[in-house]
Chain A
Amino acid sequence: MIADDLAAVRERERTAISLSTARIAVCSAAGCISTGGAAVKDALGAAVIAHNLSGSVRVLGTGCLGLCHAGPLMRVTRGDAEPVLFTKTTPAFAERVIAGLPSGVLPLEQRCDLQQPFFTRQHRIVTSDAGIVDSERIEDYLAAGGYTALERTLAELHPEDVVREVSLSGLRGRGGAGYPTGLKWSTVAKAAGHGTFIVCNADEGDPGAFMDRSVLEGDPHRVLEGMAIAAYAVGAEQGYIYVRGEYPLAITRLKTAIRQAERMQLLGHRILDSQFNFRIDLRIGAGAFVCGEETALIASIEGKRGMPRPRPPFPAEAGLWGRPTLINNVETYANIAPIILHGGAHYATLGTERSKGTKVFALAGRIVNTGLVEVPMGMPLGEIIFDIGGGIPDERQFKAAQTGGPSGGCIPAAHLDLPVDYEALAGIGSIMGSGGLIVMDETSCMVDVARYFMEFCRDESCGKCVPCRAGTVQMHGLLTKMTHGTATDRDLALLEQLAELTTRTSLCGLGQTAANPVRSTLRHFHDEYLAHIHDHVCPAGVCAMNGEDPR
């Protein structure tokens, strides 16, 4: 397909959209599907036919609309009028919505106020297509301006220009470590010879994080487009998406999207009639947290046990099968097309001095609005939790926010005014991580939380290096003793010592960060440890303190 054909598809689709009187988007991400979203969408489709509205009403399954706890969500857009969002919809409700469309009367109940801070305080770049684009139709993505960035890249930009634009944007790796994306791309481009690889890390292993799942399920073409632009920039012809086996819906949608893009010559040979070839294959993970670490991920794509190896050499120089390999996270790739379209400088106007753009967070735990939000970097943590997230339910007190999963830390109420950026979070002993933000109230015991994460790291340690393999087991034993009420001051000292040692001597990121939850809770909630040890009391009332496992 050449550019003119693509323009024709876009035009046709846009005409169809402008002729329709209403567009009804049902959230088709895994969250809303599991509360019955698919049945609502089917009911809408059937009602449209029954009311003879096929020509004027379009029903689409779309990416995550954000308020996961109030699903299935339905967004109705009529002409230029303000969209209406309905929560907790059912098939019967869907029938009422369609029945009311001809007379223009929509149900008044189950409406969600779109002027509440949850919506108005967000800034959507990565998730901008949610509610607009059908996740399974490439035509919808094209009509919304999709693949324009790839077209422009191939027609107007040299690979160096692409790298420069990405560097200019200040984009940093959204997988958690925050390495400057432009710098990584230029390293790979320089190392290039024949057979450079592109990898998309979609092994979203942090418990409590579901941003990447939502992006893959809702807008798979955005990721494919970002990868194709990256491949052009670094001179790669083969790409892999390493996606968690726990995300079956994301896998299905990706397979569909790849097939559609190949058919339109947006992937494959001679993309858009240029000299550029790029193919993407999927690799399905098999449930190993350590595979989120890039060298372990490479081993897994090669069909081996997912064990990390020392760096250097970095994958940028010697990665998959020894070839230079560019590895970025899903959200990083999803940022690329907007950067190319609107310019790196424009992207860099958002955010803080060293953390640019936006970040998608998955809000979960003891918070009113659980779901997906995208905010500019630098927004204070308290605003995300209380203004956007709606605060803590059941009139309880905020106790801690956990970011970065098992590699991150717990942030106490004293730091709620902290701006969310890479350096600020690292400064208080947590990390940005991939974007899971779990809120805890006074019903959570921080020693038990530390024990929970240590159990996770103990189970997921690959066993290759001793500090991580043995350190996590020992630290878990000490923390369990504390939650049993049998620990002494000596155990606490030993825990601190082991945390330091494991951090400094482990081979890969898993071990180096495994002690972060312990270190951050020791730092911010030291009193709770002391209560467990000296008074044999669990202030939150979680730990049994009688020699039994805490439940």
Chain B
Amino acid sequence: MATAAALPTKAPADNRLKMLDAAMTRHRHQPDALIEILHTAQELYGYLDLDCLKYVGRCLKVPPSRVYGVATFYNVFTLKPRGEHTCVVCLGTACYVKGTATILSALEREHHLEVGGTTPDGTLSLVSARCLGACGLAPVLVFDQEIAGRVTAETALARTRNWMEQP
């Protein structure tokens, strides 16, 4: 059985579990709040590890199979830790027509990564998105929450190289 102590905790004074519990209380531990709670857990911990999934399942009275099923069904949820920086490449139609595939392969080559992967030192994660809805500015990339429009392979490489050099 997973205990609270088995949850991934980096910071010594960890309020994250408290916040997770508070979120579940707010939803009155309803099983149908599972997706909402997984959103909260991922916001708090950065990813969902198996102990966390078991813990949420037990609190909401949802079998582990279903929790795992839900966590792996949706693209947003990740069961692996993300890198310190994240570069999201939009592969929506407008961005594709304007050449994001070229930018993506340039990034993959440069950092020896496949999309969805993280560099061995844990600095950079490369992620693709279905469509960010900023099609007017295609091609669009997101560098750590910051949306950037009309990106070229050169600017994308410059930004990510910068991260790699000063982690």
Contacts and interface: CB of A to CB of B under 8 A. Distances in A.
Interface in A485-502: none
B164 interface: no
Contacts of A246: 129-133
Contacts of B121: none
A286 B35 contact: yes
Contacts of B120: none
Interface stretch (B1-9, B15-23, B70-78, B79-87): B70-78
Interface in B8-36: 30-36
Given A405-B93, A438-B93, A210 B134 contact: yes
Contacts of B159: none
B73 A288 contact: yes
Contacts of A402: 93
B97 A207 contact: no
B93 A303 contact: no
Contacts of B138: 364-365, 370
A284 interface: yes
A301 interface: yes
B17 to A, nearest CB: 21
Contacts of A69: 136-137
Contact of B93 (A30, A208, A287, A304): A208
B91 A305 contact: no
A31 B130 contact: no
B133 A284 contact: no
Interface string A336-372: 0000000000000000000000000011111000111
Interface in B121-141: 129-138, 140
A208 B131 contact: yes
Contacts of B155: none
A51 B38 CA distance: 49
A545 to B, nearest CB: 16
A289 interface: yes
Nearest to B135: A364
A423 to B, nearest CB: 24
Contact of B73 (A34, A306, A453): A306
A283 B93 contact: no
B147 A286 contact: no
A113 interface: no
Most buried by A among B33, B105, B130: B130
B148 interface: yes
A291 to B, nearest CB: 9
B38 to A, nearest CB: 7
A363 B32 CA distance: 37
A438 B149 CA distance: 17
Contact of A305 (B38, B69, B137): B69
Contacts of A288: 73-75
Given A30-B147, A305-B70, A452-B96, A289 B130 contact: yes
Nearest to B93: A208
A402 B33 CA distance: 37
B134 A440 contact: no
A365 B97 contact: yes
B97 A438 contact: yes
A440 B98 CA distance: 9
A286 B135 contact: no
A261 B104 CA distance: 43
A438 B39 CA distance: 32
A213 interface: yes
Q: Which of B66, B75, B102, B129 has the most CB of A within 10 A?
A: B75
A303 B102 contact: no
Given A35-B137, A286-B39, A207 B76 contact: no
A364 B73 contact: no
Interface in A264-295: 283-289
Give the bracket for the number of chain A residues in contact with chain B.
Answer: 35 or more
Nearest to B71: A286
A207 B149 contact: no
B147 A34 contact: yes
A385 to B, nearest CB: 14
B131 A206 contact: yes
A241 B97 CA distance: 31
B27 to A, nearest CB: 10
B101 interface: yes
Contacts of B102: 551
A478 interface: no
Contact of B36 (A283, A366, A444, A460): A283
A405 B91 CA distance: 13
B32 to A, nearest CB: 4
Contacts of A30: 132-134, 147
A204 interface: yes
Contact of B148 (A34, A362, A365, A366): A34
Interface in B52-111: 62, 66, 69-70, 73-77, 91-94, 96-98, 101-102, 105
Contacts of A209: 131, 133, 135
A287 B66 CA distance: 18
Interface string B141-155: 000001111000000
A111 to B, nearest CB: 20
A195 interface: no
A119 interface: no
Contacts of A287: 74-76, 130
Contact of A208 (B69, B135, B147): B135
A288 B71 CA distance: 12
B94 A207 contact: yes
Given A303-B34, A402-B93, A362 B70 contact: no
Contacts of B96: 207, 452
Contacts of B133: 30, 204, 209-210, 213, 244, 246-247
Given A208-B94, A209-B133, A370-B135, 12 more contacts: A34-B134, A71-B137, A207-B94, A208-B131, A210-B134, A245-B39, A283-B36, A285-B74, A288-B73, A303-B70, A362-B135, A438-B94
The 4 closest A-B pairs by CB, nearest first: A68-B136, A287-B75, A286-B74, A207-B92
17 contacts: A30-B134, A34-B137, A34-B149, A205-B131, A206-B131, A283-B35, A285-B76, A286-B35, A286-B75, A288-B73, A300-B35, A303-B31, A305-B69, A366-B97, A438-B135, A456-B130, A551-B105
Interface of A: 30-31, 33-35, 68-69, 71, 204-210, 213, 244-247, 283-289, 300-306, 362-366, 370-372, 402, 405, 436, 438, 440, 444, 452-453, 456, 460, 462, 551
